[in-house]
Structure 1
């Protein structure tokens, strides 16, 4: 019996030792499992933080994709948003852009020091993230109000055409733009609304003028009695034809009878009448063709270009412009949801008034600007531009302005105050800077979304 009891006691002690070993092994395993769970959870938090930081960096950098070093901007915004989260650090990042600058793909990797897993020889966990930003323009009515005066002749006009084409390329991208409508308003000392809009005119006045072998090309005088700063439709105040009479500054009728043909925009009743406006359209080729057709003639009345840009965007002119605008009931009402209205006003010089130049306000001596003094008349043009800009902004039209070729502080300040906000004004002394300005505006008007 004693032997049996002794055997049982020895067996009990042996079992207790085995259990202790098993418990010790289990504790090590449980600690490892908990440690792995903690580090995996931290890695998941890190991956989420890296993804959100990459999305934010992509949206911020892609808003200026046409004008900046995209990789440098992505790294800058990524580091600002990531901030070495939980002691981790970014190990790599990359940016690729498709040929149309419409899809930006971003990747990033980061490493996180482990806490418990280092016990098992794993000192760090690596995570990665991918983001895809898609740029598309949707819901935009845009009027390009572009200086076509004589001072733009040569390389300046060529630079303007290049910059405007770049803008069109940015806006239309790969052709998937929706509800994008662009019009072109060339201006000099008058604006050419197109002879097809004879119904807007005071027909009796037009027919009373001697056009010789030529005919009215479509340019119009400035409205009188304050009508030159409003978006009132022609039903409220018919327009009068722009007409430069035969005089010492424009000798087109021979003293013995007959005409000094050919009568063109260089001589005759249509002298210095610029290229016809293009009403808003979604036809990219038509827009590019209108830009290519621009010619440099005449003197500068920026306010007239601006007010006709406004009239192209004003719902009071719905059903009047024809073409795509009538087919799509454009312009839409102000503040229509998911539709923006914008105008870009670009000039290379100040408003000009001369006793030798007949404009949409006639000669200064005719007093149509409320004065016969040329300096005061110029001031009137400046003030009327400011009035038009204020009216457009009050109707939530986004106004961008560009001073090209260092035109002087007066017009630079005028355009700066005209713009919707300070960074919507661009000072562009050179052709390269003009191109950069148009690209920046294109970026500003592009909508961004995270597509992946």
Structure 2
């Protein structure tokens, strides 16, 4: 007999009968209330476990769904998963519900929890029920931004070619998947100390700092690099000059954070923003005479389902320059943000944030933030900072603010650290979760990219409720 029951018994044994009657009248409802709380707590725990079981069942059914599949077949899959789960023994699932547009599958699952104390009030069970919904496969669109570090360390440390092979295999994983064809678009965002918008997008620029919107160096590169070999990017319009020292690409822009520091003394609302150039035009890199004009990567390839073009862009990447992680991350956002719909070549993308589309950024780097505060290369971001380290901290703040804003908008971020010298702390922090952070070496990078591709493909089926 419990301590509380013994105390109750002693009170009933009191010689004063009136006291015993009063205690009995008051104590019984109190015991029922305490007992009901215990029973409802048990019911709550059962409901939590039932929700987990229902979620697993609806995901399993959604992953096996085929067009016009009979509801009876869907119901059998759900029932088998529920019966295999010890927490949902005795649970009953209602008829599966497939939305009219065949984008979502929902189920209601009910069970009952036997009571203990509440049986004193002739309440033998507490009903519990849950609802779970999942997106159906083959319906959801996927937009992926591949942000790749092409700084000079990549080729100097023999990491560049393995990375190209890995990214190419990643694209193949989606182009060869019949279920993903027509549903997947991928952008390629090479970055080093800057990003290039390419010569097809010079109308995004503004004259600045006494220089024209489109620098003469971009339109007449032969006059600047007399001994270089002139070629064109895969877009057919962006020039590159290949000399014995470097690849001189055109079309790079100053990061907006740098421009804000120059104009206002600090990073403002644009530095970590996805505002399109229709709202705020970009400043050409040449407007900063100290930014190091040679350190410009190949142009961004906006979202496309032309995987042949993407593979050509990957195979033509070059490696040079320092590492502005913030520039790469923000540019990746540009290719995914609905604010840029109709700004890029494809008028239909990026689409709006919605459950019908999965937006993903996969960002890879082998280094640390490397803003320049030297005599020959000076980033405007470093104005008013005491040291290059302080300047890098400012750039990291911009990067993390951009990552946070993307995650708030539902963009899933995978990050990949590609060397022992990489800034693991900040790379991991940018990722959606610790499970979205990966490390790689030249011998493992292709396997890592394949793992990420598999995770993204699996995410095409996911819970919505």
When the two structures are superposed, what TM-score results if normalisation uses the length of structure 1? 0.59
Of the structure 1 ranges 232-241 and 391-400, higher mean CA displacement relative to structure 2 is found in 232-241
Change (3 A) 1:342 1:367: closer
Residues 331-384 of structure 1: CA deviation (Å, up to 9, x unaligned): 11112x3211110110000011343486xxx615x5555425211001111111
- Cα deviation, 1:389-423, whole Å, max 9, x if unaligned, reads 00100100000000002224xx1111111111111
Query: 1:418 aligns to what?
Result: 430
Unaligned runs of 5+ in 2: 1-55, 65-80, 87-135, 225-238, 240-248, 261-267
Q: Is the 8 A contact 1:137 1:171 kept in 2?
A: no
Residue 142 of structure 1: aligned partner: 144
TM-superposed CA distance for 1:246, in Å, is 7.1
Equivalent position of 1:353 in the other structure: 371
**Does the 8 Å CA contact 1:184/1:279 hold for their aligned counterparts?**
yes
Structure 1 residues 152-203: Cα deviation after superposition (integer angstroms, max 9, x where no partner) = 0163111111111121122222445232110000000000011111111004
Who is 1:441 aligned against? 452
1:135 is displaced (CA, Å) by: 8.5
Query: 1:161: which partner in 2?
Result: 164
CA 1:165–1:367 in 2, change beyond 3 Å: closer, same or farther?
Answer: closer
- Secondary structure of the structure 1 residue equivalent to 2:212: helix
Alignment of 1:29-44 (within 5 A): none
Partner Cα separation in structure 1 for residue 288 and residue 407 of structure 2? 37
- 268, 281, 285: which is aligned to 1:238? 281
Secondary structure of the residue that 1:231 maps to in structure 2? coil
* Structure 1 equivalent of residue 390 of structure 2: 376
Asked whether the 8 Å contact 1:137–1:178 carries over to 2, the reply is no
The 2-side partners of 1:198 and 1:314 are apart by 20
1:206 to partner: Cα distance: 2.6
Residue in structure 2 matched with residue 385 of structure 1 by the alignment: 399
- Rate the CA distance shift 1:417–1:404 in 2: closer, same or farther, 3 A: same
Superposition CA RMSD, Å: 3.3
Residue 58 of structure 1 and its aligned partner are, at CA, apart by: 13
Match of 1:198 in 2: 202
Alpha-carbon distance between aligned partners in 2 of 1:181 and 1:295, rounded to the nearest angstrom: 23
In structure 1, list runs of 5 or more residues that go unmatched.
Answer: 1-51, 61-77, 84-133, 251-269
Shift of 1:136: 6.3
Q: Report 1:22-421 matches (<5 A).
A: 138-153=140-155, 155-176=158-179, 177-203=181-207, 205-206=211-212, 211=217, 213-214=223-224, 217-223=250-256, 224-225=259-260, 226=268, 227-243=270-286, 270-322=293-345, 325-326=346-347, 329-335=348-354, 337-356=355-374, 363-364=378-379, 366=380, 368=382, 370-408=384-422, 411-421=423-433
TM normalised by structure 2 equals 0.58
Asked if 2 retains the 8 angstrom alpha-carbon contact of 1:355 and 1:374, the reply is yes
User: Partners of 1:273 and 1:157 in 2: how far apart?
Assistant: 16
Q: How far does residue 209 in structure 1 lie from its aligned partner after superposition? A: 5.3
Partner-residue secondary structure (3-state), 2:339: helix
Aligned to 2:424, what secondary structure does the other structure show?
helix
Distance in structure 1 (CA, Å) of the matches to 2:381 and 2:333:
25
Corresponding residue for residue 118 of structure 1: none
Task: Say whether the 8 Å CA contact 2:63–2:137 is kept in structure 1.
Answer: no
C-alpha contact (below 8 Å) 2:62/2:137 kept by paired residues: no
SS in 2 for 1:229: coil
Are residues 210 and 275 of structure 1, via their aligned partners in 2, closer, same or farther at CA, if it must alter by over 3 Å? closer
Q: Alpha-carbon deviations, 1:220-270, whole Å to 9, x = none?
A: 0011333221011112221111128778x97xxxxxxxxxxxxxxxxxxx4
Q: Contact 1:137–1:445 at 8 Å: present in 2 too?
A: no
- Equivalent residue pairs, number: 297
**Contact 1:317/1:331, CA 8 A, preserved across alignment:** yes
The structure with the largest alpha-carbon Rg is 1
> 1:440 and 1:156 mapped to 2: Cα distance?
19
The answer to whether the 8 A contact 1:272-1:298 is kept is yes
How far the C-alpha of 1:427 sits from its partner, in A, is 1.3
Pick which of 290-299 and 196-205 moved more: 196-205
Q: Are the equivalent residues in 1 in contact too, given 2:166–2:449 (CA < 8 A)? A: yes
| Matched position secondary structure for 2:285 | coil
CA distance in 2, matches of 1:387, 1:238: 21
Task: Give SS of 2:417's match.
Answer: strand
- Contact 2:195/2:327 (<8 A) preserved: yes
